[in-house]
Amino acid sequence: MLAAVLHKPGDMRLEQIPVPEIGGHEVLIAVKRVGICGTDPHIFRGTFPVPYPLVQGHEFSGEVVAIGHAVTTVKIGDRVTADINMSCGKCFYCRMGQKLFCESINQIGVHTDGAFAQYMKAPEANIYKIPEEMTWEEAAYIEPLACAIRGQDRANITMGSTVAIIGAGPMGLVHAQLSKMNGAGKVIISEMNAVRLAKARELGVDHVINAAEEDPVQAVRDLTEGRGADFVIEAVGAIPTYNQAFQMVRKGGTLVTYGAAPATATMEIKPFEIYSKELTIVGSYAGTYDTWVKALALVSGKRFKPADIITKTIPLTQVVEGLHEAMSNKNTIKIMVDSTQV
């Protein structure tokens, strides 16, 4: 099968590799669509540690073409997506219902081979069936939507609150829509790219701030009578924007650390400010359990429409170019890869 194999940072090659062999509790999936995630450029550049060689790609949909001998809930021909987080189910964290912290966690497309390929495998327990009317693109967006829902749940956004989001990329725009669904009275987005700002306006964001032209921290304060936002979601993953987030949040507010900063990046904070402002700081990095069910329901019910965010679809043979575009062209918001086009 054809796959895009990352051999070392910046060195991804299209190669013919064996179709994955499945175990008794696994299924083989013919990949239909896979999204280029904001984490994928970090992996590609080497700022997000992974084992090599690796087939990336963890936002995917496809059709089951083979099942292991012990599989009972999935059949050949099922249209599916899958939770990428594979946990042991036995350690302290798994028994506490916190599979993301499993002592032997493996993530598809991050620690084991993923969907930048014609075929991939996944455990039966991680499979979610998708309805016939759901498009392959919509199904491939379930994973990032589940991640954003996790962040929203962690924040516990309240009715009538003001939510400031830093970054109008694919995840920032999702958070803007989910914040509205969760009852936010005012949603603000800060972004430097004009195309992304226009998309935010199109999706109904109440206030957009062009951070290339004005101080986003002051702008948020001006929109909140000098207080700052009740909730601030950092959806960029850069130290300068994390610094802005700490300045944007009001006393007694909540800061959601959602953007994936480089693993080795550090920043200075003043503990007294956290203490004196009684800030709540929550981290969120992946979807889990119920957030997948919620994401499927939102897409199935047309409450969330991935097509509003997807910029383009490219063939698998252009995935390397797609990664470079995702890193360099901020006019491109979300790229889908068609693994059937080779």
User: CA–CA distance from 276 to each of 49, 80, 243, 310 (Å)?
Assistant: 35, 48, 17, 42
pLDDT digits (tens, 9 = 90+) for 25-52: 999 999 999 999 988 998 999 988 899 9
- Rounded Cα distance between 8 and 45, Å, is 9
In the structure, what pLDDT confidence band is assigned to residue 289 with cuts at 50, 70 and 90?
A: confident
pLDDT of the residue at 305: 94
Tokens at 285, concatenated: 């990095």
Give this prediction's pTM: 0.93
pLDDT of the residue at 108: 96
- Asked if the model's pLDDT at residue 337 lies above 90, the reply is yes
pLDDT digits (tens, 9 = 90+) for 134-146: 999 999 999 999 9
Q: 182-196, 214-228, 262-276: which has the minimum mean pLDDT?
A: 262-276
In the structure, what pLDDT confidence band is assigned to residue 341 with cuts at 50, 70 and 90?
A: confident
Q: Tell me, letter by letter, the H, E, C secondary structure of 34-98.
A: EECCCHHHHHHHCCCCCCCCEECCCEEEEEEEEECCCCCCCCCCCEEEECCEECCCCCHHHHCCC
- Asked if the model's pLDDT at residue 182 lies above 90, the reply is yes
The superfamily CATH assigns to domain 2-141+310-338 is: Medium-chain alcohol dehydrogenases, catalytic domain (3.90.180.10)
Helices (H) and strands (E) counted in the chain, each on its own, are 11, 18
Which residues, at least 6 apart from 222, have a Cβ–Cβ distance to it below 8 Å? Answer: none
C-alpha closest to that of 128 among 59, 181, 43: 59
- Asked if the model's pLDDT at residue 285 lies above 90, the reply is no
What are the sequence ranges of the domains in the chain? Answer: 2-141+310-338, 147-283
- The third-level CATH classification (topology) of the domain covering 147-283 is Rossmann fold (3.40.50)
- Rounded Cα distance between 261 and 264, Å, is 8
